[in-house]
Amino acid sequence: MRRSFTVVLLAATLTGCGIGGTDRIGVSRGGSSGILIHYVPCPGEVVTRLAILGNTGGISYSGGNDQPGGDPDDDEYIIWQAASSGSTDTVFDTGRAPPGFVEEIPLTVPLAEEGELAVFVGSRSDGLQGVQIGIDLDDLRPGRIVSNLSSDPLGRASFERMARETCEG
């Protein structure tokens, strides 16, 4: 099983959650689009943005002027995006707006069963932060979360327990 993780910390506050957010994001197979994003917020942190990006080669999500469509080889090609004023949920069904979110960029094509994508979670505690993880779709299985916490996919309870342990506090 080939694993290719690309994690980019975009901007983080050093209070509250710190920069450990890269260990609190994971992905599994499931939901309406075939991908579930898992994110464990620290106390006082809320999720404000979710996105799926079209290729992992050098992607760095910047959030503001990104446009859907266009050239899929562009480093900021967004396939799907939703925003919220703040959610404490830990599992997000992609491809449609999760409860409390507004879909900003709709998913217009089915996601492939193989290849690479990146997922992004933006959050807010005392400031804004965002984390991104590149995933190989071949590694995804229902009920098993691929993350930076372990070289092997984790069950939901193990992932959430280990992710909570990364919160400073």
For the segment 107-139, what is each residue's pLDDT rounded down to a tens digit? Answer: 887 777 778 888 889 988 755 678 888 888 889
pLDDT of residue 76: 54
pLDDT of residue 3: 37
Give me the percent of the chain exceeding a pLDDT of 70: 72
For residue 143, the enclosing domain spans: 7-164
pLDDT of residue 169: 59
DSSP conformation letters of 14-80: SSTTTTGGGGSEEEEEETTTEEEEEE-PPTT-EEEEEEEES--SS-----SS--BSS-TTSTT-EEE
Pick from 77, 74, 87, 75: nearest CA to 108? 77
Q: State both tokens at 156.
A: 């939901």
Q: State both tokens at 91.
A: 């599992």
Is 169 contained in some domain?
no
Instruction: Encode 115-125: b = buried (16+ Cβ within 10 Å), e = exposed.
Output: ebbbbbbbbbb
d(CA 143, CA 29): 7
Is 79 contained in some domain?
yes
Tens digits of residue pLDDT in 15-66: 334 445 678 999 999 988 889 999 999 999 999 999 988 754 444 444 443 4
Name the domain count of the chain. Answer: 1
Cα–Cα–Cα angle for 149, 13, 156, rounded to 5 degrees: 25
